Amino acid sequence: MRNCVCGVDLGGTKIGIGIVDSNGKIIAKVNVPTPVKEGKQAVLDSIVKGIEDVITKANLKTSDLLGIGVGSPGPLNSKLGIIYNPNNLPGFENVEIVKFLNEKFGTNVKLQNDANAAALGEYIFGSGKGTENFVYVTVSTGIGGGLIVNGKIFEGANSNAVEIGHMTILDGGPACSCGNIGCYEALASGTALQRFAREAVLKGEKTIIKEIAGDRDIKAEDVFKAYHRGDKLAIKLVEQEAYYLGVGMINLIALYNPERIAIGGGVSNEFDTFYDKMMETVEKRALKPSLKVCDIVKAKVNDVGIVGAASLIYEK
């Protein structure tokens, strides 16, 4: 059972770890907690335990692995294999994770920004296959992305390229968690949709969104549910979401001139819901010669966090 890779998707609350075959299929998978409050070593121990568990679960030996790929929130340095100080991993600072896992498992280890890893996974195993210029966009809590050019991740000077969530598309617009204003993420992420809905409800607008949410806070999914039940406010909000998604796409098309853009992340579950409205904006406003060669599709790969991390070992 050779040709298998271990993918580690390091998140703020949990770590997804899987064994992925050369077709991008997950053979075995475990989730372990991210005990970030207990310190660096506890997180590393959790990762090691997860890798050992998933190897066992897949009936493999460590020596069967071609390597281990790690997708992590940035900032990080992929060349040095160091995670610096991700916002959602407080205290997990300056961790030489590649060196650590390499010494522990004696196999090839690669580290990459999680959005870049997901882009590579979607490129190798999903909708990016066969393209030479491919952009992956993840729309969920935030908006992230990755660009694959001729099979390779476009990293920029220090692995921070394609931070598309933090391009300004509406100067003077809402504040973003990054310190900028009018960011794509502040207007078109799931969190943004949720915020617009909460604000509207607070203003007393008539809607069934609040009723769908019940006692808990309103989530982006509630807005889509209300949309599908014909709620007027929800229709307005989803159309606005589609519109802002489109404005960001216009910029990606102008800046990267890709053959294909794939949208993944939680919000992409509603791809068919927002696609037409999004494309209305894109078709009206994007640069024609670039738009002509670009299509925008729904991402295909499930568990792209794990598959993407694993795909790092398959990168050209």
Binding site for a copy of itself (CB under 8 A): 74-75, 84, 132-133, 149, 154-164, 166-173, 178-182, 244, 247, 250-251, 254-259, 284-290, 292-294
C-alpha distances out from residue 38 to 41, 42, 243, Å: 8, 6, 43
Q: What tokens does 38 get?
A: 């207990």
* Closest distance of CB 61 from a copy of itself, Å: 38
Cβ atoms of residues 119 and 112 within 8 Å: no
Residue burial 142-176, b: 16+ Cβ < 10 Å; e: rest: bbbbbbbeeeebbbeeebebbbbbbbbbeeebeeb
Token pair, residue 187, equals 């207007």
Nearest-approach distance from CB 141 to a copy of itself, in angstroms? 17
C-beta of 1 vs 287, nearer to a copy of itself: 287
If residue 146 lies in a helix (H) or strand (E), which one and from where to where?
strand 143-149
Cα distance between residue 205 and residue 267, in whole Å: 23
Q: Which is nearer to a copy of itself, 242 or 286 (CB)?
A: 286
Residue 280: CB minimum distance to a copy of itself, A: 14
Measured at the alpha carbon of residue 167, what is the angle toward residues 256 and 264, in degrees to the nearest 5?
A: 65
Minimum CB–partner distance for residue 142 and a copy of itself (Å):
13
Q: Which two tokens stand for residue 169?
A: 């598309």
Of 67 and 86, nearer to a copy of itself (C-beta) is: 86
How near is the Cβ of 289 to a copy of itself at its closest, in Å? 4
Q: How far is the CB of 241 from a copy of itself (least distance, A)?
A: 14
What is the rounded distance in angstroms from the CA atom of residue 290 to the CA atom of residue 257? 6
141 DSSP assignment: S
Closest CB to a copy of itself among residues 193, 213 = 193
Q: Between 296 and 306, name the residue whose CB sits nearer to a copy of itself.
A: 296
> Which of residues 136 and 256 has its CB atom nearest to a copy of itself in the complex?
256
